[in-house]
Structure 1
Amino acid sequence: MNDLAERVEEWMVGQMPIIQNHGGTSVVREADAETGVVVVELGGTCSGCGISNITAQNIKRDLIMDFDEVDDVQVKVPSTGDTGSSTVEGGRGGDLQFSNESADHF
C-alpha cells in the first residue's frame, strides 16, 4: 500500500466510530497521489441507507480538505447490501454486529 493509501486508511479509521455506530463499513480501494484520485467504498448498513449520500459527500469534502494531493474523491455505496469480506478490509468491519436498533436508525 502506498503512503497516501496508508494515510487515507488511517483517516478513515478515525471516521469509523461514526460509520460503525450505524453498522457501516469502509475500505479505501484506491489512493493515487500522482493523479489525486481516491476511491472509498462504503458497505454494511451504508448500502441502502437514506443518509449514505450525506456521509459520502462529507468524506469527499473532508478528504480534499485534509490531503493536499487529493483532488478527486469517489465514494461508492453498493446497493446490494453485500457485506462480504471484500468490503471490510483494514480490520474495520468484519461480521456485522446487530443491535436492537434498526438499520434505519440515526
Structure 2
Amino acid sequence: MSEESLKSRVENWMVKQMPIIQMHGGTSVVREANPETGQVVVELGGTCSGCGISNITAQNIQRDLYYEFEEITDVQIKVPSTGDMGADTVEGGRGGDLRFSTDSAEHF
C-alpha cells in the first residue's frame, strides 16, 4: 500500500463522500491535515457562505472525519457565515467584511 498523505486522503474522502456540496455550488478545501497532531482544518466556501444549513453540513463532516480516520483527533470546519474565516472574505457575496453570526450584518 502506498503512503498517501493524510491531507490527500481527507481531500479524496471529501470528493467521494460530500458531492452534494459541489452539486449546490459549494466548495471545500483541506487547509491542514497534520498526522502528528491529528488536527484537520477544512474550509467551506462558495454557496456554503451564508447557507442556512452550512453549520449542519460542517457538523456532519466533522463527525464523519472522526469516524473514518482513526488518526484524526481534532477537526475544525471553517464556514464563512460563522465568522471562522478571515475578514477579507465578503459576506454572502454582498460585499463588506465578514460578520460573526452573533453580529448584525447591518445590510440595508
**TM value normalised by structure 1:** 0.72
Show the counterpart of 1:60.
Answer: 62
Matched with 1:69 is 71
Structure 1 residues 28-39: aligned runs within 5 Å:
28-39=30-41
What fraction of aligned residue pairs are identical, expressed as a percent?
75
Unaligned runs of 5+ in 2: 82-90, 94-108
Number of matched residues?
81
SS at the partner of 1:6?
A: helix
1:7-22 pair list within 5 angstroms:
7-22=9-24
Name the structure 1 match of 2:25.
Answer: 23
For 2:51, which of 27, 49, 52 is the aligned residue?
49
1:5 aligned residue: 7
Higher normalized contact order (CA 8 Å, seq sep 6+, divided by chain length): 1
Q: Which runs of 4+ in 1 moved over 4 A?
A: none
Which AA in structure 1 matches 2:49?
S
* Cα distance between partner residues in 2 of 1:18 and 1:25: 10
> What CA distance in whole angstroms lies between the structure 1 residues aligned with 2:63 and 2:25?
22
1:50 alignment partner, SS class? coil
User: Computing the radius of gyration over CA atoms, which structure comes out larger, 1 or 2?
Assistant: 2
- Give the counterpart letter for 2:37 in structure 1: T
